[in-house]
A and B are shown apart, each in its own frame.
Chain A
Amino acid sequence: MSKILIRGAKVLGGEPQDVLIDGSEIAAVGSGLSAEGAEVVEADGKVLLPGLVDLHTHLREPGREDSETVLTGTRAAASGGYTAVFAMANTFPVADTAGVVEQVYRLGQEHGYCDVQPIGAVTVGLEGKKLAELGAMHESAAGVTVFSDDGKCVDDAVIMRRALEYVKAFGGVVAQHAQEPRLTEGAQMNEGVVSAELGLGGWPAVAEESIIARDVLLAEHVGSRVHICHLSTAGSVEIVRWAKSRGIDVTAEVTPHHLLLTDELVRSYNPVYKVNPPLRTERDVMALREALADGTIDIVATDHAPHPHEDKDCEWAAAAMGMVGLETALSVVQQTMVETGLLDWAGVADRMSFRPAGIGRAQGHGRPVSAGEPANLTLVDTAYRGAVDPAGFASRSRNTPYEGRELPGRVTHTWLRGRATLVDGKLA
């Protein structure tokens, strides 16, 4: 069995401690631990976090391997400090059967960079008409617990109700991409002052808010839990806050880009800023940060959406929607939440590991950094400052909105069950 001693790491941002990994588990946490027989990682001043968990990743395999594969996507995840990612179902074929989810799950296990928990489609082919075999996906080797038609909204209220009810049988959760389809026909960006000026089709906040309002009421009525994907508006925050105060079992996620970027960037007509839901206003950004800090928004999820260069190197209207995010997420959270004083590192661990693992019921992830727990860990050099250079990304696609932007923090080490997947910033 291999032993690793992480020496002098600020565990969850606290006082420096030593953490001893033995095999796949954490053997001890304390000060002055013996380094005998162990490889030593000097972590002086760095922050040690539980391995990050992303509830919203697009790995593109099967079907769009030119954008990303399970291998390249999980390497990107390990680079970003993740030890588990939930892979969205909008692949080709759609992950709407036990066969497809098992394939994706097994690829993740084989490659070994990061656990891949497939998300099953709610409806067959993401068409919103007929429930997919939710139970079979749950019972498969992949053990699916999260279901989503992400990319599309489950807009039929009856289908949504049935899905919410059905997954109660095995503790599942429906993750909704809240987008009223009629209100967003032809939508290209946030509807507001900037869209009015640029003459781009508007995606109004109310198209998100009306679906969230409906779905929390449905969840209440049938006694289920619902998860809101990539919540992006101040109004959505108010609805979720109200729902939680009423005891409705709702959780919500925010993406790093919605915590940092605004629709003013669309003035460049550069499709690297084209994303769904769209970048909103400064007011929304501030509301999202506060909601993440006070727990109204439970987690940060990347919505990592890789696209090949040609799908972005064109005019705005023709460009694909989405941004890559796994490798920059923690840096954006450090800048927007930690350095603003809204969250401490324990809070980051909560929003990026404990809670997402809890919502997705990810076994062995999102556990405390203490003896006897699986050694899923991430070491962060929080003092680092540097400009983002997509050329160094492990992701197959480079559609990042942060190229050339200075962001703080850098993940130096990631361990998956005691095995290093990232060492000194390099993939193992």
Chain B
Amino acid sequence: MQRHLISAADLTRDDAVLILDTAEEMARVADRPIKKLPTLRGRTVVNLFFEDSTRTRISFEAAEKRLSADVINFTAKGSSVSKGESLKDTAQTLEAMGVDAVVIRHGASGAPYRLATSGWIDAAVINAGDGTHQHPTQALLDAFTMRRRLVGRDAGLGQDLAGRRITLVGDILHSRVARSNVDLLHTLGAEVTLVAPPTLVPVGVESWPCEVSYDLDSTLSKSDAVMLLRVQRERMNAAFFPTEREYSRRYGLDGDRMAKMPEHAIVMHPGPMVRGMEITAEVADSERCTAIEQVTNGVSIRMAVLYLLLGGNEPAVTHTRTEEK
């Protein structure tokens, strides 16, 4: 039986809470002198990266190694991947090598879903980011960070994020992080507001379980967490917004804006941070900014996901959406 993690929308509330709780256990391993568990000894995990992302790859690699898995890194960048069949070919090559799990990053939305459902491969598939679609482990590590900060490390065990108000600011249209977070935070009971210029909000957003606002200032005082998303400068040339300065003036988070947030509220960023446009140095370096913790938490979350998909006895992570279609 295959078990995959393709989309944050595939997770039930209980699945997600189990992953967060398991990640707390994994985080304790990091505090030990020997940061390693034997759980995945003899299992082979491939990091299949068709798109460059050193941060995500290293995070997965660290998680895999802490669980004692054999790790193969396959970077398709530079090799000939212009033809679509290369995904299938590559997958089947890895399958022939007896791979147990594939962590895939791909520039095309849906590529991990195709990999998991096309019969090309038997291994478990973990989506490490596909096009502008999903990045479920990012959403999980974000939720983990929120739960730790807003509920508490031990008090949070078994808890979700019911009633917490989370604001996501920036390029929603092109963001797999936004899609994953909206799905997962909704499942965990949080109230999500997306804030962006209308050009960076997808047509069809009205079906998402969240609010949409074009006005950052009016949302700040009601936010328990404000998450800033990457806004690529090239969007400016494609007329998504007029100038960097104007974007920054309307949607950037600076000290004055941060002061309008409730005292307990945190500032989040998936990184890498572009200081100046979306976040000022003052905010990025403040106590309230969790960007560095998010990196640390990413390893714990990925350990938890790998453990539950490959090592856990119970099928902790379901894939209902895959089966329905």
Which A residues lie at the B interface, using CB under 8 A? 188, 191-200, 202, 204, 267-270, 310-311, 313-319
Contact = CB atoms under 8 A, between A and B. Distances in A.
B258 interface: no
A198 B108 contact: no
| 5 A-B pairs with the lowest CB-CB distances in the bound complex, closest first | A318-B84, A314-B84, A196-B204, A199-B133, A269-B110
Interface string B79-102: 000011101100000000000000
Given A198-B110, A317-B108, A204 B203 contact: yes
B203 A191 contact: yes
Nearest to B321: A267
B204 A197 contact: yes
B111 interface: yes
Contacts of A204: 203
B302 interface: no
B113 A193 contact: no
Residue from A191, A192, A269 having most chain B Cβ neighbours under 10 A? A269
Given A199-B133, A269-B113, A313 B202 contact: no
B105 interface: no
A267 B325 CA distance: 8
B199 to A, nearest CB: 13
A262 to B, nearest CB: 14
Contacts of A317: 84, 107-111, 131
Contact of A198 (B85, B117, B133, B206): B133
B54 interface: no
A85 to B, nearest CB: 29
A199 B107 CA distance: 11
9 contacts: A198-B110, A199-B109, A199-B176, A202-B203, A204-B203, A311-B84, A314-B83, A314-B114, A316-B110
B179 interface: yes
Contact of A315 (B114, B179, B203): B114
Residue from A195, A198, A199, A316 having most chain B Cβ neighbours under 10 A? A199
A315 B325 contact: no
Contact of B110 (A192, A310, A315): A315
A319 B179 contact: no
Contacts of B203: 191-192, 195-196, 202, 204
Interface in B129-166: 130-134
Contacts of A198: 109-110, 133
A193 B176 contact: no
B237 interface: no
Interface of B: 83-85, 87-88, 106-111, 113-114, 117-118, 130-134, 176, 179, 202-208, 325
Contacts of B205: 196
A191 B203 CA distance: 7
Contacts of A311: 84
Contacts of B108: 315-318
Contact of B179 (A192, A197, A314): A197
Contact of A191 (B88, B117, B118, B204): B204
B112 to A, nearest CB: 9
A315 B87 contact: yes
A259 B217 CA distance: 46
Given A269-B110, A315-B114, A194 B176 contact: no
A274 to B, nearest CB: 11
Contact of A316 (B83, B88, B114): B114
A62 B84 CA distance: 24
Contacts of B107: 317
Nearest to A318: B84
A202 B131 CA distance: 13
Contact of B114 (A191, A192, A202, A269): A269
Contacts of B131: 199-200, 317
Nearest to A200: B109
Contacts of B179: 197, 199
Nearest to B50: A315
A194 B110 contact: no
B182 to A, nearest CB: 10
A315 B84 contact: yes
B133 A196 contact: no
A234 to B, nearest CB: 16
A222 B117 CA distance: 53
A301 to B, nearest CB: 28
A199 B106 contact: no
A193 B205 CA distance: 7
Contacts of B176: 199
Contacts of A196: 202-205, 207-208
B181 to A, nearest CB: 13
Contacts of A199: 109, 130-134, 176, 179
A253 B193 CA distance: 43
B202 A202 contact: yes
A198 B130 CA distance: 10
Nearest to B130: A199
A193 B109 contact: no
A315 B204 contact: no
Contact of B204 (A194, A267, A314): A194
A195 B202 contact: yes
Contact of B88 (A188, A195, A313): A313
B193 to A, nearest CB: 17
A200 to B, nearest CB: 5
Nearest to B132: A199
A198 B9 CA distance: 11
A96 B130 CA distance: 40
A317 B117 CA distance: 16
B43 to A, nearest CB: 26
A99 to B, nearest CB: 32
B234 to A, nearest CB: 13
Nearest to B174: A199
A315 B106 contact: yes
A200 B176 CA distance: 11
Residue from A192, A194, A197, A270 having most chain B Cβ neighbours under 10 A? A197
Given A270-B114, A316-B111, 20 more contacts: A191-B204, A192-B203, A196-B207, A196-B208, A199-B109, A199-B134, A199-B176, A200-B133, A202-B203, A202-B204, A204-B203, A311-B84, A314-B83, A315-B84, A315-B114, A316-B110, A316-B114, A317-B107, A317-B109, A318-B83
Given A197-B179, A315-B106, A192 B84 contact: no
B204 to A, nearest CB: 3
Nearest to A191: B203
A197 B133 CA distance: 7
A270 B204 CA distance: 21
Given A196-B202, A267-B325, A314 B133 contact: no
A200 B110 contact: yes
B196 to A, nearest CB: 13
